[in-house]
Amino acid sequence: MKKLVLSLLVCFISFSLLAQDIVNLFLNKHGKDENIEVVTIGKKMLDLMQSDSIATPELREAIAGVENIKIITSKEESLNENYYNSAHGLLLKNKDFTELVAIDNEDQRMIVMVKAGRGVISELVLLMNYSNVFNLISLCGNINLEMLAKYSQNMDLNELHNLKIIEDKN
């Protein structure tokens, strides 16, 4: 009986680790680091932002399916490259993520990846290291790629215009 309980406990812990979003995985690795700042915008705040007095119709549409937004930044510029490489490694190890856009040049490194299943994007990750800024941003929930494509046009991000094609394939 003890072996059965222990086996179930090990399986549960394994599944719990697999279910973690990329920000939590990063924090498990670097969480005690004083040079990291973490901001989490929870569902309640996102719901409050949906009110007519605060949000435009465009903003309400943009955050409609988002459950939370997590943002990690670095306070120490000299550690940005290390943090970027660490987060990028975590993304590459996680086979659930698909790359949408990547920019890699001398002064700017950026990657956008999504975790999708059954036609639903459950997590969108934006990883950036440019100038003196490191950001790891994760949106979790039901992410609408069509909405992202629409807003990418407004932001003049031509690389994201193919999101509709990706959504249709899922």
Pairing label, strands 120-130, 133-143 = antiparallel
From first to last of its 170 residues, the chain has per-residue pLDDT tens of: 444 334 433 434 433 334 468 888 999 988 788 889 999 989 888 888 777 666 667 667 777 888 899 999 998 888 999 999 999 999 999 888 989 888 888 888 999 899 887 778 889 899 999 878 899 999 899 887 776 666 555 555 444 444 544 444 44
Give the integer Cα–Cα distance in Å for 105 and 139. 25
Please give the pLDDT value at position 47: 82
Domain ranges of the chain: 21-169
Please give the pLDDT value at position 33: 83
Predicted confidence (pLDDT) per residue in 89-130, tens digit: 999 998 889 898 888 888 889 998 998 877 788 898 999 998
**Could you tell me where the DSSP H helices lie in 31-67?**
43-49, 57-63
The dihedral through the CA atoms of 75, 81, 86, 88 has a sign that is positive
Strand ranges inside 95-156, DSSP E: 97-104, 108-117, 120-130, 133-143
Token reading at 42:
């929870």
